[in-house]
């Protein structure tokens, strides 16, 4: 009986320590995405649910009609949305651009195909989009971060500050 009580108390102690550690380490300013990625929320940002209207806005602006690039995480900023999505690593940026070219109002403003991450700045579906493509820890996939907003200045700011994005994500 004493052994059982000691084992029970030890298990309770370990469970309590684990719960305290879990609560202590969880942070409201980080959003998990993919298998083991985290996006650090900035002031004014919050994770939101993907509504039918938001999915349509994203697909109209960022997804070619012939493929699917599902949303993994959706973040609402003060004047923009951040969409974290995954696509197969076999999808090349050039192929994506050719498919997007058929969308009404699609226009590439700037692109950087070399290096990591690959970057795009374009208009589509009435939105200005800064997009970053990078390798993923999810096997066979790549991550796409899309910053969608109504004004070109904000989108250009996201596009021109790759280091800001790299500081926001951790794997």
Residue 84 has pLDDT above 60, yes or no: yes
Residue 78 has pLDDT above 50, yes or no: yes
pLDDT of residue 53: 96
Tell me how far apart the terminal alpha carbons of the chain are, to the nearest angstrom: 46
Residue 1 has pLDDT above 60, yes or no: no
Average pLDDT for the chain: 81
Residue 158 has pLDDT above 90, yes or no: no
pLDDT bucket at 151, cuts 50 / 70 / 90: very high
pLDDT digits (tens, 9 = 90+) for 7-48: 232 232 222 322 223 333 334 699 999 999 999 999 999 999
3-state secondary structure the chain: CHHHHHHHHHHHHHHHHHHHHHHHHCCCCEEEECCCEEEECCCCCEEECCCHHHHHHHHHHHCCCCCCCCEEEEEECCCEEEEEEEEECCCCHHHHHHHHCCCCCCEEEEEECCCCCEEEEEEECCEEEEEEEEECCCCCEEEEEEEEECCHHHHHHHHHCHHHHHHHEEC
Q: Locate 85 and state its tokens.
A: 């999505």
CATH of domain 28-170: 3.40.1000
Of 66, 114, 65, 71, give the one whose Cα is nearest residue 93.
114
Instruction: Decide: 137 and 35 in contact? Cβ < 8 Å.
Output: yes
pLDDT of residue 17: 28
pLDDT of residue 117: 82
Q: What is the mean pLDDT of residues 142-146?
A: 94
Q: What is the mean pLDDT of residues 110-133?
A: 89
pLDDT of residue 169: 85
Question: Which residue is it, tokens 């994005």?
Answer: 165
pLDDT digits (tens, 9 = 90+) for 45-77: 999 999 999 999 999 999 999 999 999 999 999
Q: Which residues, including other chains, have CB under 8 Å from residue 115's CB and lie 6 or more apart? A: none
pLDDT of residue 28: 60
Question: In angstroms, rounded to a whole number, what is the distance separating the alpha carbons of residues 30 and 38?
Answer: 6
């Amino acid at each position: 009986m004493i052994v059982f009580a000691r084992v029970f108390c030890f298990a309770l102690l370990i469970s309590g320590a684990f719960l305290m550690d879990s609560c202590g380490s969880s942070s409201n300013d980080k959003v998990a995405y993919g298998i083991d990625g985290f996006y650090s929320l900035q002031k004014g940002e919050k994770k939101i649910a993907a509504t039918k209207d938001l999915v349509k806005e994203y697909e109209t602006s960022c997804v070619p009609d012939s493929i699917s690039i599902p949303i993994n995480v959706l973040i609402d900023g003060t004047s923009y949305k951040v969409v974290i999505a995954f696509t197969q690593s076999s999808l090349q940026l050039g192929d994506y651009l050719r498919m997007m070219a058929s969308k009404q109002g699609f226009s590439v403003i700037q692109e950087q195909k070399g290096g990591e991450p690959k970057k795009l700045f374009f208009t589509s579906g009435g939105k200005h989009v800064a997009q970053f493509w990078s390798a993923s820890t999810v096997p066979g996939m790549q991550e796409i971060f899309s910053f969608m907003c109504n004004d070109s200045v904000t989108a250009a700011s996201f596009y021109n500050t790759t280091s800001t994005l790299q500081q926001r994500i951790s794997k």
